């Protein structure tokens, strides 16, 4: 499902594609680098600020490209360390981008390590039963320009508040492609966007600091393993047996563990980097000690890091978060086997941080407000 905007987004252009458009206009190719420098390094917000371009060229650019295909409609700051940006696209679709701050000892929150969680689709077709994003199904894929625009909005918002402002580098430390949507179901736009994010003429952000998280689209994991840029991989496992996984993740029918785990292993061997297994702990669904032992065996075999995420309640869904004792008991089984494990104590509960919740609430409000 694609959306065809009036004008292509500038943030979806590569150096090569922009140079080709400019050359068709009789402009030298080096102008492309100048324009992208204004966008990604100087981070201007209008064509008129590109002062080394002629007025006629700026007029042509304004008529040809959409400067920014997403507008910031809400920047929701939580009591803890998570911010959520709600962005509106040209077709009025809403997407979410989350800034997660990890405070470091002895420095203020503005100097904390920042991980940005970006979305790749409006809604999601995967239908994981515990997920707010999947509740209304898939509306459409995001374009590469819309994916990149999320990160530019984060840069702008961080530039405005931190001393790292306008240092010509991205003002965050890690990117996780873990927001709304299944990233590998929008493969081409994702790779184009991350190529722009990585390039020296783009945000110049290292591929090793970008993690792509998938619910387990096996053929695309194998394709990703062949990409020249070495992105990191996270698998949303959420069940250590087919029976449990199938109960909560319909994708397991197409790609059961017997297909998924060898693909994960191949990726890990090819890149020589640890993959991450994401495991949302849901009470009486996947939080038994038996599941913990089976997860331990999988993690040992894959030499994987395990990220345990206590479930974030979603309004209208019956699933619950296990008690702290149950969470700790589960984690201890992994730790006893010397597996690298994080038990993510929740961030952003007060700003609807479970993926897709803020967007769903805003869409409901819109429906109620409509005449
Ligand atoms: S958990 Fe991820 S893959 Fe599953 S429905 Fe939600 S957004 Fe889609």
Q: Determine the residue of 124, 212, 355 to mutate for testing ligand 1's pocket, defined as the one with the most ligand atoms within 8 A of the Cβ atom.
A: 124
Is residue 186 within 6 Å of ligand 1 at its C-beta?
no
Q: Determine the residue of 215, 216, 358 to mutate for testing ligand 1's pocket, defined as the one with the most ligand atoms within 8 A of the Cβ atom.
A: 215
Which residues, 6+ apart, have CB-to-CB distance to 44 below 8 Å? 38, 50
Q: Which residue shows structure tokens 């402009």? A: 27
CA 133 / ligand 1 centre spacing (Å): 6
Closest of 278, 283, 351, 364 to residue 316, by C-alpha: 364
Q: Which residue shows structure tokens 């991989």? A: 233
CA 265 / ligand 1 centre spacing (Å): 22
Q: Determine the residue of 181, 252, 314 to mutate for testing ligand 1's pocket, defined as the one with the most ligand atoms within 8 A of the Cβ atom.
A: 181
Is residue 126 within 6 Å of ligand 1 at its C-beta?
yes
Strand pairing category for 232-236 and 210-214: parallel
Q: Which atom of ligand 1 is nearest to the CA of 121?
A: 7
Which residues, 6+ apart, have CB-to-CB distance to 112 below 8 Å? 81, 101, 102, 103, 104
- 219-223 own/partner pairs: CB under 8 Å, 24+ apart: 220/184, 220/185, 220/187, 221/184, 221/260, 221/263, 221/264, 221/267, 222/263, 222/266, 222/267, 223/187
Is residue 131 within 6 Å of ligand 1 at its C-beta?
yes
Q: Which atom of ligand 1 is nearest to the CA of 213?
A: 2
Q: Which atom of ligand 1 is nearest to the CA of 134?
A: 5
Is residue 117 within 6 Å of ligand 1 at its C-beta?
no
Distance between CA atoms of 332 and 326, rounded to whole angstroms? 10
Residue by residue, pLDDT tens for the chain (371 residues) are 667 788 999 999 999 999 999 999 999 999 999 999 999 999 999 999 999 999 999 999 999 999 999 999 988 776 667 888 999 999 999 998 998 887 665 555 556 788 999 999 999 999 998 887 777 799 999 999 999 999 999 988 887 776 555 555 667 889 999 989 999 999 999 999 999 999 999 999 999 999 999 999 999 999 999 999 999 999 999 999 999 999 999 999 999 999 999 999 999 999 888 999 999 999 999 999 999 999 999 999 999 999 998 988 777 788 899 999 999 999 999 999 999 999 976 554 443 444 555 565 556 566 555 55
Which domains occur in the chain, in start order?
10-64 (1.10.150.530), 70-369 (3.20.20.70)
Residues carrying an active site annotation: 96, 355
Is residue 355 within 6 Å of ligand 1 at its C-beta?
yes
Per-residue pLDDT, 157? 84
Closest of 155, 147, 123, 117 to residue 136, by C-alpha: 123
Closest of 185, 211, 220, 203 to residue 307, by C-alpha: 211
């Amino acid at each position: 499902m694609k959306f065809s905007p009036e004008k292509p987004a500038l943030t979806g252009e590569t150096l090569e594609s922009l140079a080709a458009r400019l050359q068709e206009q009789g402009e030298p190719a080096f102008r492309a680098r100048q324009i992208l420098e204004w966008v990604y390094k100087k981070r201007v917000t209008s064509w008129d600020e590109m002062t080394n371009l002629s007025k006629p060229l700026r007029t042509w650019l304004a008529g040809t490209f959409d400067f920014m295909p997403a507008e910031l409609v809400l920047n929701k700051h939580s009591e803890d360390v998570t911010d959520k940006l709600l962005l509106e696209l040209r077709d009025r679709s809403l997407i979410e981008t989350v800034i997660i701050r990890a405070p470091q000892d002895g420095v203020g929150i503005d100097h904390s390590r920042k991980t940005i969680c970006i979305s790749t689709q409006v809604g999601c077709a995967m239908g994981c039963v515990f997920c707010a994003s999947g509740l209304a199904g898939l509306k459409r894929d995001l374009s590469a320009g819309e994916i990149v625009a999320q990160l530019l909005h984060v840069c702008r918002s961080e530039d405005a508040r931190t001393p790292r402002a306008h240092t010509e580098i991205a003002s965050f430390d890690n990117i996780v492609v873990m927001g709304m949507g299944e990233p590998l179901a929008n493969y081409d736009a994702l790779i184009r966007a991350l190529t722009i994010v990585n390039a020296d003429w783009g945000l110049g952000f290292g591929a090793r600091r970008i993690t792509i998280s998938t619910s387990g689209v096996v053929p695309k994991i194998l394709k990703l393993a062949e990409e020249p840029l070495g992105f990191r991989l996270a698998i949303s496992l959420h069940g250590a047996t087919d029976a449990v996984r199938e109960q909560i993740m319909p994708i397991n029918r197409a790609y059961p563990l017997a297909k998924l785990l060898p693909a994960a292993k191949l990726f890990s061997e090819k890149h020589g980097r640890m993959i991450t297994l994401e495991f949302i702990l849901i009470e009486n669904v996947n939080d038994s000690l038996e599941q913990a032992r089976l997860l331990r065996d999988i993690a040992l075999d894959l030499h994987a890091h395990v990220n345990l995420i206590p479930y974030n309640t979603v309004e209208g869904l019956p699933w619950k978060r296990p008690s702290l004792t149950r969470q700790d008991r589960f984690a201890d089984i992994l730790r006893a086997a010397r597996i690298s494990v994080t038990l993510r104590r929740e961030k952003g509960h007060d700003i609807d941080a479970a993926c897709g919740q803020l967007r769903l609430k805003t869409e409901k409000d819109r429906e109620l407000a409509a005449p």
